Structure 1
């Protein structure tokens, strides 16, 4: 129950982030005992490169504390959606923080918003969406894989998000989002192989007063079909973007003094702080296609553009 609110002390059944270094972080559920492979109840001990950690010793400890291990130390951090993205168990490919931050911005989410997500996956984005809309908003998330839906809902409930997130098993490409969500959503997000097939269902789900739409697609061909369908269905402000993360650091660099006197006993170099570019950076993850659906009274449904391969005199059938 660590994600629903911030608190000072670690309690039984909390999730904590064990921080060893920037490249070694682990999500641990605080349980005193666990059942081993032989079916016996034993003390819960988490092994790290710096030694073993008795998990029961974390109970009553403050979040952010430094814990001593046999070969070093670690920090126990309060879980956040950003840290959970880095440590969660992967059931599918996930969306990372640079894209997540842009998605939340483009969907204009705030406390009280109702957001419909299709493509629950491992729940990386869902945790961030829940934080953005709580306490009075709601996230409805859909996935076609029944087992993933079941595991995800158990995870959301264990993290204290059961009242904010509802996970459902449904093929939204064929079945839509359900009649109970018609006209209720402020925004719709799609992470699907064929997002253009769901746009018609998204229109029925978004409120009559209008709302926002966003789709995550790894391939530009998916983006093209999605944009064509958005345009033909009357969406406005259609744009596609790519988020690339680049970190900068400041280091002291020494430079030789060009006018330094050879006989002078003074310094021959000058040291100053400089910005240093990273040796490498994460590459392409996917394209974000965002659009606005106007209020129902001002929506204009356009005919799709005619295919250049269509013979003269023949019209393309509406999509």
Structure 2
């Protein structure tokens, strides 16, 4: 069950197998089966009943067993389509003002990454109505939601929303669109919103031309506060920086030369103690060292994923 935490996994549950930061896998537990990892064989029977967070031995090492959160599922799910990742998902849930009890209409189920996050946010009293035009994808998503015990808060349907609309009226607090032609769905989205309270809409589009046509449709259907964002992650690396003097020598090199000269001159115990103090000061980046810690932007940053367009429909 992805929506309610429990201490230990049971047979049939999906768990996250953590090998390293870059190697994590989703695993459905079945008695008698074995999962092969780079650290050797992992027996399902050993995992069943083990508390989440436990270190489990393999034949040539060990792995950790983690509870499947939407964030970890996003990193391990089987890709049927391109998906949204946590930095976009978290921003969408914030901007849509989602909370327990909210009703959300999602067009474009895809691989179910966004749906899992929406279900956790609006549960246990809310509901997600998610639609996909591709029948096979919709069926696979429906099976996943059943396996993850999410059917009480998620209804997955096969439907071409661009042609047939949502088929819902006066129910939604928020609408999320991940479609090639989101502007075709705006009229149906207006009908889906609660007339007494309105709501928030988000459209995810990889191209600016899609954003422009969507914004025009939103404006013509009475939406306000239309805004488009792009979420870019910019990691910083913490490094120690040494300044240079007027001759181009770094302060740390000059400091080392001074310490060496002082060490040659002072052979007494007092001199040795002074040298030890100097060395400690240099190691920790003291005033005599002349270096300092600085945050430097990484040269490699994750690139463009898409544009997020948000708009508000006021109550009628």
- The CA distance in 2 between the partners of 1:10 and 1:176, in whole Å, is 40
Is 1:240 the equivalent of 2:242?
A: no
1:52 pairs, out of 41, 44, 57, with 41
1:64 pairs, out of 11, 28, 53, with 53
In the alignment, which residue of structure 1 is the partner of 2:313?
293
1:257 pairs, out of 238, 251, 258, with 251
Residues 33-77 of structure 1 show CA distances to partners (whole Å, capped at 9, x for unaligned) of xxxxxxxxxx31111111110111111100000112222221100
- The CA distance in 1 between the partners of 2:229 and 2:208, in whole Å, is 11
Is 1:119 the equivalent of 2:117?
A: no
- The CA distance in 2 between the partners of 1:279 and 1:69, in whole Å, is 37
- Distance verdict in 2 for CA 1:78–1:254, change over 3 Å: farther
In the alignment, which residue of structure 1 is the partner of 2:3?
4
Say whether the 8 Å CA contact 2:104–2:172 is kept in structure 1: yes
- Distance verdict in 2 for CA 1:176–1:14, change over 3 Å: same
- The SS at the match of 1:263 is helix
- The SS at the match of 2:234 is coil
Shift in Å at residue 253 of structure 1? 6.0
More helix by share: 2
Shift in Å at residue 249 of structure 1? 4.3
Say whether the 8 Å CA contact 2:182–2:203 is kept in structure 1: yes
- The CA distance in 2 between the partners of 1:273 and 1:121, in whole Å, is 44
Residues 87-128 of structure 1 show CA distances to partners (whole Å, capped at 9, x for unaligned) of 000011111111100110111000000000000000000000
- The SS at the match of 1:112 is coil
In the alignment, which residue of structure 1 is the partner of 2:297?
277
- The CA distance in 2 between the partners of 1:71 and 1:277, in whole Å, is 38
- The CA distance in 2 between the partners of 1:248 and 1:139, in whole Å, is 36
In the alignment, which residue of structure 1 is the partner of 2:172?
185
Residues 128-183 of structure 1 show CA distances to partners (whole Å, capped at 9, x for unaligned) of 000000010000000001111111011001101011000011111111011xx201
- The SS at the match of 2:261 is coil
- The CA distance in 2 between the partners of 1:254 and 1:10, in whole Å, is 51
CA RMSD of superposed structures (Å): 1.7
- The CA distance in 1 between the partners of 2:59 and 2:40, in whole Å, is 5
In the alignment, which residue of structure 1 is the partner of 2:267?
none
- The SS at the match of 1:264 is helix
Larger Rg: 2
In the alignment, which residue of structure 2 is the partner of 1:204?
191
- The SS at the match of 2:312 is strand
Is 1:218 the equivalent of 2:218?
A: no
- The CA distance in 2 between the partners of 1:26 and 1:73, in whole Å, is 14
- The SS at the match of 2:84 is coil
> How is 1:102-181 mapped onto 2 (pairs within 5 angstroms)?
102-178=91-167, 181=168
Aligned residues: 283
Residues 200-238 of structure 1 show CA distances to partners (whole Å, capped at 9, x for unaligned) of 000000111210000000000000111111111111100
TM-score w.r.t. the length of structure 2 is: 0.85
